[in-house]
Structure formats: C-alpha cells, structure tokens
Amino acid sequence: MTFPISARFQLDYGAFQLAVDLNLPNSGVTVLFGHSGSGKTSLLRCIAGLQRAQTGFLKINGKVWQDTERGIFLPTHQRPLGYVFQEANLFPHLTVTGNLQYGLKRIGKSFATEYIQHILNLFGITHLLDRMPDRLSGGERQRVAIARALVLNPEILLMDEPLASLDFKRKQEILPFLSRLHRELNIPVLYVTHSQQEVAQLADHLVILAEGRVLTSGPLAETLSRIDLPQAQDREASTVWPVSIAEQEAEYHLTRVAFDGGILSLSVVDAEIGTPLRVQIYARDVSIALEAPTATSILNVLPARITGITEGQGGQSVVRLQVGALPLLAHITRKSALLLGLQIGMTVYVQIKGTSILN
C-alpha cells in the first residue's frame, strides 16, 4: 500500500499539544478515532488549513499544501478539499441549490452535470433543492452539507463528526448514504469520530489518537486486533471482517458469506449474492477449543492460529488469532488459557457465538 498523504503537525496551546506524523492512503475511509481532547478535530482542521499549526508539513497526491520550513501555507479556500462540519453549517440565506452552487460558482463549474445529478440522487436530496435550510430536518441538512462538499469533486473529503449532532434515528438515516459514498465515489475520506460503531461501519484505515499523539495507524482489521493497545482489553473490543454474500439458506433463515479464508453463517441478510458486507465480531463472543468440536450448537467453528496472547485485568486473557487472512480477537479467562496451554503458533479452533452485520 502506498501512502500519498503525508501530514506532520505540531501545535502547542500550552494545555493542549498536538504532535502527529502520519502517512495515510488516498483511497477509502480513514477514520481518526479518539476521545474528546485527543486532537482528532484539531488535526482535521490543520489539514483543512482552518487552523494553522506552528510547524506543519502536508503533502497530498504529490502537491505540498503546507510546509512551514519553506514558508508554504495554502489558505483553506485554495485547497481542493471538501469539508463537512459537525453541524451542517449550511448558509441560512441560500436555498439548497444556492448552497450547492456556492462552491461550484467559485471553481467555474456548472451545476447541470451528470456527476452532480448522481450525487443528488445518491444523497436523496433532489426534491429538496428549492427549500431554505430552516425548512430541512437535521438529517436532510447534513445530507445537503455532504453533497455540497462532494459536488466540488474534491481531492479529499474531510468530515468532522458529521453524525455527532444527530439523534440515533437520524444517524441510521445517514449511515447508509456514507457507505454508498464509500462504494460509489472514488474520493478519499478523512473521518473524525469518537464512535466505535462508526469506526466499525465506515473505516478502512484507522488512526487512533490520544492526548494529541498517534497511538496507531493502519488497516482497520489490523489496528482493531492490536493486543498491545488498551482498546483490545475493552469489553466492546471487536474485529471487523469484510465479507461478501455467498449463498442464501432460506429454509434456515441464514445467509452464508465468504471471507478471505473461509465461510461464515449469519442470520439472514436480504441482499444479492456477491454483495459486500462488514461483519463485526466481538472478542467476548469468541471461544477457543484445541480440537474441532464435533457436537456443538455453534455454527461458526473455524481453524485458526494463535498469533498473540496478553493478560488483561480481572483474570482475563486477550488472544489474537489468524483466521485465513484475517485477524480475530478472543476474550477468554486466564484459567482457560492456562488449562488449554495456549501458546503463540498453536493451531486451534475458534467458535464464534455471535456476529453483527454492519451494513
């Protein structure tokens, strides 16, 4: 994998300091994850040029946007980016069309193109074009805001917790649009969030930030299964697997999906064969057996190899496994780990008690 986005920033506000040095892919969704105060939003604002780091270097697709050493700083309006704010931040004095055209006029592009029609359809806002922003629901506003950034066909789309201001129902309304955006447009996205659900659902590449520093940066499955990081101990620790629908077992209300190294059975997913899905597997739902269990109610039993073990709190062990090409985390008791004599490199069987389908 190449990393055409290089971002190095140093900010010092006394109480808060940011020091990052990141190389990121320019495809798919890169999630900047962290708690509030971790510096994820500051980092995004530095990339947008909305905030000016004391020391900074930013290169995207071979073009330098910022380099303090050489005195280069492209102001925000000269950076070919799209930005979606936490609040939709539409211009209240312009209609939806006016909002969508605002940026287009400034880059001298026409509104009536196929690409823009495609975006309007993708976000389901064609019927809203003549409305003023105060006549839109929160979810509609945020969809217009995302479309407004996308119609400029930016080189990168920056999203700052675009769902944080929405209630659960509105979030569920927007998430599918974001997934479609992911699949249908080839624009790299930098997505800031503190929601693990959004990470699991959207991230291809995950950057975890804490106290202004990067804890880890890498592909989602790898990053989630890092047992040296505190989040592997979390009760909500999980891994996410990309799968695709392989077979429907209508009589059992099951769907069989293929992943890189095997097949899983899931409760029924109403979609065509070949549809890509994300499956989230919580570490607490994975158990380990030394031999293939012959009589078990659990459908998903897969061969695996142990690639790491670490002792957690409260008599818990975290085991990292490799299933086919994909990593998996298991939370088991320390006693079980001892009784089974688990060692790195051992071949075992994992039983997956539950899965959740993310999209």
Partner 1 sequence: MLSPADIETLLLTFKVASITTALMLLFGTPLAWWLARTRSAWKGLINAVVALPLVLPPTVLGFYLLVLMGPAGVVGELTNWLGIGTLPFTFAGLVVASVLYSMPFVVQPLQAAFTSIGTQPLEAAATLRAGSLDTFFSVVVPLAKPGFLTAAILGFTHTVGEFGVVLMIGGNIPGNTRVVSVQIYNHVEALEYTEAHWLAGVLLVFSFTVLLVLYSAFKTHPVAHQLR
Angle, CA 136 vertex, CA 133 and CA 137 arms, to 5°: 135
Nearer to partner 1, 87 or 211 (CB): 87
User: Helix, strand, coil: what percent of the chain each, to 5?
Assistant: 30, 35, 35
Nearer to partner 1, 73 or 102 (CB): 102
Contacts of 60 (CB under 8 A, 6+ apart): 4, 5, 26, 155, 156
Nearer to partner 1, 108 or 314 (CB): 108
Q: How far is the CB of 166 from partner 1 (least distance, A)?
A: 17
Q: Which residues of this chain interact with partner 1, rule CB under 8 A?
A: 48-50, 75-78, 81-83, 85, 87, 89-93, 102-103, 106-107, 132-134, 148-149, 152, 158
Q: How far is the CB of 50 from partner 1 (least distance, A)?
A: 5
Contacts of 134 (CB under 8 A, 6+ apart): 92
Long-range CB contacts for residues 322-325, cutoff 8 Å, separation at least 24:
323/261, 323/262, 323/350, 324/259, 324/260, 324/261, 324/262, 325/260, 325/261
Nearer to partner 1, 108 or 345 (CB): 108
Q: How far is the CB of 23 from partner 1 (least distance, A)?
A: 24
Sign of CA dihedral 183, 186, 188, 193: negative
Chain center to CA of 265: 24
Nearer to partner 1, 24 or 152 (CB): 152
Q: How far is the CB of 317 from partner 1 (least distance, A)?
A: 47
Tell how strand 156-160 and strand 189-193 pair up. parallel
Rounded to an integer, what distance in angstroms lies between the CA atom of residue 190 and that of residue 140?
Answer: 21
Nearer to partner 1, 49 or 212 (CB): 49
Q: How far is the CB of 13 from partner 1 (least distance, A)?
A: 14
Largest CA distance in the chain: 70
Q: How far is the CB of 62 from partner 1 (least distance, A)?
A: 21
Q: How far is the CB of 358 from partner 1 (least distance, A)?
A: 29
Q: How far is the CB of 93 from partner 1 (least distance, A)?
A: 4
Q: How far is the CB of 321 from partner 1 (least distance, A)?
A: 43
Nearer to partner 1, 109 or 194 (CB): 109
DSSP state of 235: T
Answer for the pair 183, 278: CB distance below 8 angstroms, yes or no: no
Answer for the pair 159, 122: CB distance below 8 angstroms, yes or no: no
Structure tokens at 286: 């994975």
Q: Is 285 helix (H, G, I), strand (E, B) or coil?
A: helix
Rounded to an integer, what distance in angstroms lies between the CA atom of residue 150 and that of residue 144?
Answer: 10
Nearer to partner 1, 149 or 348 (CB): 149
Mark out the alpha helices in the chain (DSSP H runs).
40-48, 96-106, 114-122, 138-150, 168-184, 196-202, 220-224, 334-340
Nearer to partner 1, 82 or 162 (CB): 82
Rounded to an integer, what distance in angstroms lies between the CA atom of residue 216 and that of residue 229?
Answer: 9
Rounded to an integer, what distance in angstroms lies between the CA atom of residue 142 and that of residue 166?
Answer: 9
